[in-house]
Amino acid sequence: MDEETLKNAAREYQTPLYVYDGDLIVSRYREFAKAVASIGSKSRVFYAVKANSSLAILDLLRREGSSVDCVSGGEIACALKVGFKPHDILFTSNSKTREEIASAVSAGVNITCGNTEELDVVSEVCAEAGESARVSFRVNPDVDAKTHPKIATGLRDTKFGVHFEGDIAFNAYKRASELEGIDVVGLHAHIGSQITDASSFVESCEKLFEFALRLKNELGMQLEFIDVGGGVGIAYKKDDKPLSPEEYAKALEPAVKAGVESLGYEPTLYFEPGRYIVGPAGVLLCSVNSVKETPSKKFVNVDAGFNTLTRPAMYDAYHRATVLGKKGESETYDIAGNVCESGDILARDRALPKVVRDDIIIFHDAGAYGMSMASEYNMRALPAEVLVKDGVTHLIRERGTQEDLYRKQKTI
């Protein structure tokens, strides 16, 4: 997106503002889908809604042929609202309420169970409703994804998935195959997010195929799909070297080919990219309220905070920051958010051109886990979102208002 577009968007819709590049979202989706198709097996892409659950973005991806991976009843509701078919929706969460499960069963969504008790609830719900459910399990592959501990989801001690160890996963499949109303359709692992090392993906994929072979040999089970999850990282820093979808696909290819050959049938491969598709396609624009010099630092105080962009405070995450319409690196600043906590520093020790009040700071690569994690903490209304597509800037979410802050509340 060129600077003129961003300037106009900030002028028209004010800041803080999330701006997404719809053309880039589409091209990244296509690049990813093409790369995983090149592995040679049947493949489907399930966009991970939690990365950015904007209806407009979901709709854009639906029109591209994407399916979706949802982690809650709310995400499923959003997906259905924009027109995804239930069979194109996966419901994968470590902790689902009975109501969420009942809605998913009645809609006909694919349910990925995270433990055997959840399977029991699915089965109970099916019995009550006289329906059946398409079920898979998330397994815990005990693979180290070498990413931030808070988003490494495939390790032995995490809350995710049924373990191979102690035959927990095997017994879960066995039990599922015996239960009324349960159609066992797939097998899933997801080892984490923002991963830049292909070997962890390969290791997880090999374990999935090995396990599918055991399910075939010992239970006579043939799976419709193997879901290898998401987690392909992006470049947040200039010198980051993330995996390209092509490298990712190439790395998986031998494991898939060997797996399919030993399996004797070809399950469809499911992929769940989220950050990869939308991360680099979004920026957060915020305005400079004041610039302040202290004896030890210079601070740029902006009109956004960790309620707007949570990743720096939550994960010590790095987002590139630039000044709209300015070049050079003449000063070093901390960019301070407006939340009343010391931890609310959006960027530390950044070389920027001289910043003055009313300048606009661009936080890059904020398309994923930006708006989706935003809150109204400190009673600041949620930001607006715009989507730029084919040269046109569309408001896709109106800015929150002060009335929103006390909606549904009453005094006694």
Q: Which range touches a copy of itself (CB under 8 A), out of 76-84, 128-136, 204-212, 234-242?
A: 76-84
Nearest distance from residue 222's CB to a copy of itself, in Å?
Answer: 27
**245-263 and 198-219 helices, crossing angle to 10°:** 20
Q: Name residues contacting a copy of itself, limited to 158-197 (CB under 8 A).
A: 158-160, 163, 165-166, 168, 192-193
* 3-class DSSP state of 178: helix
- Which of 13, 19, 35, 50 lies at the binding interface for a copy of itself (CB under 8 A)? 50
**Site track 297-336 with a copy of itself (rule: CB under 8 A), x = hit:** x-x-xxx-x----x--xx-------------------x-x
Is there a contact between 139 and 189 (Cβ–Cβ < 8 Å)? yes
Identify the residue among 38, 97, 262, 330 touching a copy of itself (CB under 8 A).
97
CB of 47 to a copy of itself, least distance (A): 14
Q: What is the closest distance, in whole angstroms, from the C-beta atom of residue 211 to a copy of itself in the complex?
A: 16
Of the candidates 127, 129, 258, 405, which one interacts with a copy of itself according to CB under 8 A?
405
Catalytic residue among 70, 78, 113, 340: 340
Least separation, in Å, of the C-beta of 141 and a copy of itself?
13
Question: With respect to a copy of itself, which residue has the nearer C-beta, 263 or 374?
Answer: 374
**Residue 144 — φ and ψ, nearest 5°?**
-85, 115
For 194-197, the CB contacts below 8 A with 24+ separation are 194/147, 194/148, 194/151, 194/231, 194/233, 194/234, 194/275, 195/145, 195/146, 195/147, 195/231, 195/232, 195/233, 195/243, 196/146, 196/147, 196/233, 196/240, 196/241, 196/242, 196/243, 197/145, 197/146, 197/243
Please state, in angstroms and rounded to a whole number, the distance separating the CA atoms of residues 72 and 389: 28
Answer yes or no whether residue 363 interacts with a copy of itself by CB under 8 A: no
Specify the residue, 118 or 365, whose C-beta has the smaller distance to a copy of itself.
118
Q: Which long-range contacts (CB under 8 A, 24 or more apart) does 343-347 make?
A: 343/306, 343/313, 344/305, 344/306, 344/313, 345/312, 345/313, 346/302, 346/304, 346/305, 346/306, 346/309, 346/312, 346/319, 346/321, 347/312, 347/318, 347/319, 347/321
To which H or E segment does residue 17 belong?
A: strand 17-21
For residues 221 and 173, the answer to whether their CB atoms sit within 8 Å is yes
Span near a copy of itself by CB under 8 A; candidates 68-76, 126-134, 175-183, 244-252: 68-76
**Phi/psi of residue 112, each to 5°?**
-100, 110
Helix residue ranges, H only, 38-142: 55-63, 73-81, 98-107, 116-129
- DSSP secondary structure of 265-315: S-PEEEE--SHHHHGGGEEEEEEEEEEEE-SS-EEEEES--TTT--HHHHH
Residue 265 CB, shortest distance to a copy of itself, in Å, is 30
377 sits near a copy of itself (criterion: CB under 8 A) = yes
Closer residue to a copy of itself (CB): 114 or 282? 114
Nearer to a copy of itself, 152 or 208 (CB): 152
157 contributes a contact to a copy of itself by CB under 8 A: yes
11 touches a copy of itself (CB under 8 A):
no
Asked if 378 interacts with a copy of itself (CB under 8 A), we say yes
Which residues have CB under 8 Å from 351's CB, separation 6+?
329, 330, 331, 332
Options 130, 295, 327, 391; binder of a copy of itself; rule CB under 8 A: 295
Note whether 245 binds a copy of itself by CB under 8 A: no
> Does 78 qualify as catalytic in the annotation?
no
Q: At its nearest, how many Å lie between a copy of itself and the CB of residue 297?
A: 6
Is residue 155 within the footprint of a copy of itself (CB under 8 A)? Answer: yes
Name which position in 110, 112, 136, 153 contacts a copy of itself (CB under 8 A).
Answer: 153
Considering only CA atoms, which of 53, 41, 16 is closest in space to residue 306? 16
Q: Is 12 in the site for a copy of itself (CB under 8 A)?
A: no
- Which positions from 195 through 234 interact with a copy of itself, judged by CB under 8 A? none
- Least Å distance between CB 403 and a copy of itself? 9
Q: How far is the CB of 28 from a copy of itself (least distance, A)?
A: 18
Nearer to a copy of itself, 40 or 74 (CB): 74
* Residue 92 binding a copy of itself, by CB under 8 A: yes
Question: What residues are labeled active site?
Answer: 340
